[in-house]
Amino acid sequence: MSGVLHLVGTGPGDPDLLTLKAARIISRADILAYPVGSETSLARAIAAPHIRPGTEEMPIVIPMRRERGPAQAVYDGAAEAIAAELGMGLSVAYLCEGDPLFYGSAMYLLDRLGDRYPVKIVPGVTSLTAAAAAIARPLAARNDVLKVLPAPLPDAMLAAELAPAGSVAIIKLGSHFDRVRDLLVALGLAEGAMVVIHASTGHEKVLPLLAMPAGERPYFAIILVYKGGEGWTGGHG
Amino acid sequence: MSGVLHLVGTGPGDPDLLTLKAARIISRADILAYPVGSETSLARAIAAPHIRPGTEEMPIVIPMRRERGPAQAVYDGAAEAIAAELGMGLSVAYLCEGDPLFYGSAMYLLDRLGDRYPVKIVPGVTSLTAAAAAIARPLAARNDVLKVLPAPLPDAMLAAELAPAGSVAIIKLGSHFDRVRDLLVALGLAEGAMVVIHASTGHEKVLPLLAMPAGERPYFAIILVYKGGEGWTGGHG
């Protein structure tokens, strides 16, 4: 009997936004795996209060590079290490910020292990709805179209998607921040757009896009653009 | 000192997908308010294990009609009833399925009370990521565009949004189910599209769109369409 791999969303950052299910799985897992960026793992920090003392941990150090090769090689190795544990009948919980299937790294393990071992997925609160909560404005309402646009996409593609009415969230900003801001200004969409940084955490910061200091390039930021439509009519937030 | 209105997302249906924060706020609230559709309230059912015996409850019966007037009149009345409690310094938790600001009814209270009373928002797991979890396929990956399209939108608008590559979730199906299926067939997108009904609940059902029995018109359904792009490459799910 092989063990189960749980892909566990730990939510946007506030440890209180962990689900009851995630907390229970974390507290019972034989092995906890999680990606580590530069130094720390946000997902591990969120899970910390629920980790049984003595639980085996498997930090997966992801090289932060533009090319995909190095990171994919790390996931190859991690998948084999996890497979070895599952093969011995041990359960593994792989922790990821937000939701495992919403732009998450969990898909790299699902891709490598999903056909060979039982995999269960625990959805989590995304930074998307946490950002909407931070500005107290509906993310989308009634028959609004809602779009999530990754900032690395080319300007022409972003502009085309931004043209119709609706609600838009732009993610993965980082070094693309200035370019995206310039694009929104050029399209007449910067006014009213909001930036939410580190939504739901102690470092949460909310400000209008046009008030964002030049040169700041926050990675954990989302720009929310609301283009009317038939949704929100309130003046609040 | 007026009380605080908490707009609380209770997640997609599985009571275990409630957040720790939502559970705590529910257990401490002076008054619990929640929308009631035909007979029962899913949000209330999810919250049930955490409700203190004797907690005052305020079910808000929403007329299920196509016109907006009757429902909006009910929210007017509900907002005044909630305002009266807040004015006496009592705390009110308004429960909503999924996330309060993701196509939720909470915006109607935010709109009416947000400028007059302190409002706090507790984001929740949406049916969107719960549906992706049910089919064990990424909702969106890497630089995919992700779109949420409400089914009541006209065919031409849906078709325009479905044209580019990316990942699409179609919500609010109900009586629009057959029309949307026909549209997806006409656009060559029905193959590979999945239907998830009552994601995360005991009634969860997952099936390919083309295997969906004619005449079934589930309201709590989502159609997930994946149009390639540079995201998911796995064969799993």
* pLDDT digits 0-9 by tens, A170-195: 999 988 999 999 999 999 999 999 99
Q: Which CATH architecture has domain B5-125?
A: 3-Layer(aba) Sandwich (3.40)
Q: Decide yes or no: CATH 3.90.650.10 for domain B128-226.
A: no
ipTM for the predicted complex comes to 0.94
Residue B67's pLDDT is what?
76
Asked if the model's pLDDT at residue A65 lies above 80, the reply is no
For the stretch A84-89, contacts whose Cβ atoms lie closer than 8 Å and that sit 24 or more positions apart, written own/partner, are A85/A3, A85/A30, A85/A31, A86/A2, A86/A3, A86/A4, A86/A5, A86/A113, A86/A117, A87/A2, A87/A3, A88/A3, A89/A1, A89/A2, A89/A3
For residues B34 and B96, is the Cβ–Cβ distance under 8 A?
yes
Order of all β-strands in the sheet with A5-9 = A56-61, A31-36, A92-96, A5-9, A119-122
- Please work out, in degrees rounded to the nearest 5, the angle formed at the alpha carbon of residue A75 by the alpha carbons of A85 and A103: 115
Distance separating alpha carbons of residues B152 and B177, to the nearest angstrom: 10
Query: Would you place residue B227 in the very low, low, confident or very high pLDDT band (cuts 50, 70, 90)?
Result: confident
Q: Do A140 and B234 touch (CB under 8 A)?
A: no
Residue B96's pLDDT is what?
95
Query: Would you place residue A236 in the very low, low, confident or very high pLDDT band (cuts 50, 70, 90)?
Result: very low
Of A149, A172, A236, the CB nearest to B115: A236
DSSP code of residue A172: -
Alpha helices in chain A (DSSP H): 20-28, 42-47, 69-87, 106-113, 127-135, 155-162, 177-186
User: Which part of chain A is CATH 3.40.1010.10?
Assistant: 5-125
- Residues of chain B with Cβ-Cβ distance to A24 below 8 Å are 16
For residues A84 and A55, is the Cβ–Cβ distance under 8 A?
no
Q: Do B101 and A138 touch (CB under 8 A)?
A: yes
Residue A235's pLDDT is what?
43
Asked if the model's pLDDT at residue A58 lies above 90, the reply is yes
Query: Could you tell me which residues come within 8 angstroms of residue A77 by beta carbon, excluding any fewer than 6 positions away?
Result: none
Alpha helices in A88-176 (DSSP H): 106-113, 127-135, 155-162
Chain A interface, best mutation among B148, B161, B196, by max A CB count within 10 A: B148
Closest chain A residue to the Cα of B172, Cα to Cα: A143
